[in-house]
Amino acid sequence: MRREINKLVRDYIPEQIQSKGETPTVRKLDEGEFSIELRKKLVEEAQEVVACSTKEALIEELADTLE
């Protein structure tokens, strides 16, 4: 089964995919692309923070945003 994510992922994600027997296709972004994708990721994380309904969820999502 092939899935396309097309977004910025943490360094260890490709290794986790490989550990499941799958072969991820990754590429290193240039500085401009990285800046754009990092901003998209921040917006995504901020939306998750806004959607939190409990203090515990809020703390967890804020920690994710800082990572």
Per-residue pLDDT reduced to its tens digit, 42-51? 999 999 999 9
pLDDT for residue 6: 85
55: burial class by Cβ within 10 Å (0-12, 13-18, 19+)?
A: exposed
CA 30 – CA 35 distance, rounded (Å): 9
CA 18 – CA 37 distance, rounded (Å): 23
Query: Is the distance from CB of 58 to CB of 52 less than 8 angstroms?
Result: yes
pLDDT for residue 8: 87
pLDDT for residue 11: 84
Low-confidence ranges of the chain (pLDDT < 70): 1
- Number of Cβ atoms within 10 Å of the Cβ of 52: 14
